[in-house]
């Protein structure tokens, strides 16, 4: 939004719930608290499983090459030491909880999940020693070791999309041009991120609220190849998530990508060769 892309497209965008967990973000879509949300893929899919009309529009990044990082206090130096540990997550049933349980299963250990609601609360609790570890966004792998001498574990890749952008099907039915502009705005914002490093870095530092500029630069370089010029959700990534969710929600095995996502807006941009022209220009 700071770059003016959404404003140019006639969108008066705001961020009413910047530190909102995925489950609450999905609930806010259903209630109509906000028209769009960027949230963990699992939270959106779980909303669909609950019978709501949430729908995925795009996936800004490629499926995760590694699991979401787990930061630990310094005395925990290997995954086996997480046995019996208290690990902060946004929620037990959302993206961070699912990702953590998958990693613990691979490592053959059990830990106590501590739902804390926001990334900031997880990081603060870890820094204060109230928890032993925390599942945090990729950006924190660059901040935590410098600021609090934390260790970083990279769990095995789940192959999930870590985050997606969604709305409701009723919004699409009522305001399709609005949704089309939002999707175009995301595509243009990804282009801006990938091609305007000097302008993006100060915006990223302000958004992340990281005091260390080096951590911001490293976060930028980390995300750069992961953002998709055409942010199309991966059918394979969605299927892997559905397989994981089916462990507790058998109905997940019956869902298809078409039931979860509406990629027609991306299809329209693709037919117009919008992305190709954007990067050539």
- pLDDT tens-digit profile of 49-96? 999 999 999 999 999 877 789 999 999 999 999 999 999 999 888 888
Q: What average pLDDT does range 219-239 have in this prediction?
A: 95
Paired sense of beta strands 54-58 and 164-168, if any: antiparallel
Annotated domain spans of the chain: 5-63+160-280, 70-153
pLDDT at residue number 94 = 81
CATH fold for the domain made of 70-153 = D-Maltodextrin-Binding Protein; domain 2 (3.40.190)
Q: What is the pLDDT of residue 91?
A: 87
Tens of pLDDT, residues 140-172: 999 999 999 999 998 888 888 989 999 999 999
Give the predicted TM-score (pTM) of the model: 0.88
User: What DSSP element (H or E) covers 168?
Assistant: strand 164-168
Sequence-ordered list of residues with C-beta below 8 angstroms from that of 221, at least 6 positions apart, any chain: none
Confirm or reject CATH 3.40.50.10860 for domain 5-63+160-280, answering yes or no. no
Q: How far is CA 200 from CA 189, 277, 278, in A?
A: 10, 21, 18
**Rg, the chain, Cα only:** 19
pLDDT at 26: 92
* pLDDT > 90: percent of the chain: 78
pLDDT(132) > 70: yes
Q: Residue 61: what pLDDT?
A: 96
What is the mean predicted confidence (pLDDT) over 17-40?
85
User: Same topology for domains 5-63+160-280 and 70-153, yes or no?
Assistant: yes
And the tokens for 163? 């985050």
Mean pLDDT calculated for residue range 203-216? 90
Q: 216: which 2 tokens?
A: 């911001």
Q: Round the average pLDDT of the chain to a whole number and report it.
A: 92
């Amino acid at each position: 939004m700071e770059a003016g892309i959404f404003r140019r497209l006639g969108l008066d965008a705001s961020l009413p719930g910047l530190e909102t967990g995925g489950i609450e973000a999905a609930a806010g879509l259903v209630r109509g608290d906000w028209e769009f949300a960027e949230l963990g893929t699992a939270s959106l899919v779980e909303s669909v499983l609950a019978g709501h009309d949430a729908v995925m529009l795009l996936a800004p990044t490629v499926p995760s090459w590694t699991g979401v990082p787990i930061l630990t206090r310094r005395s925990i130096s290997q995954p086996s030491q997480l046995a019996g540990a208290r690990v902060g997550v946004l929620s037990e049933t959302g993206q961070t909880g699912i990702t953590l349980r998958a990693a613990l299963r691979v490592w053959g250990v059990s830990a106590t999940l501590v739902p804390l609601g926001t990334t900031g609360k997880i990081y603060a609790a870890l820094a204060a020693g109230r928890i032993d570890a925390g599942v945090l966004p990729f950006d924190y792998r660059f901040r935590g070791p410098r600021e609090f001498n934390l260790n970083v574990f990279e769990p095995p890749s789940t192959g999930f999309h870590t985050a997606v952008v969604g709305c409701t099907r009723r919004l699409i039915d009522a305001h399709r041009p609005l949704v089309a502009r939002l999707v175009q705005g995301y595509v243009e914002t990804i282009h801006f991120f990938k091609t305007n490093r000097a302008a993006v870095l100060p915006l990223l530092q302000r958004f992340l609220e990281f005091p260390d500029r080096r951590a911001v630069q490293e976060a930028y370089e980390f995300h750069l190849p992961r953002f998709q010029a055409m942010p199309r959700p991966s059918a394979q990534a969605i299927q892997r998530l559905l397989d994981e969710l089916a462990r507790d929600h058998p109905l997940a095995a019956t869902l298809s990508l078409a039931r979860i996502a509406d990629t027609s807006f991306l299809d329209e941009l693709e037919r117009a060769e919008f992305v190709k022209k954007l990067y050539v220009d």
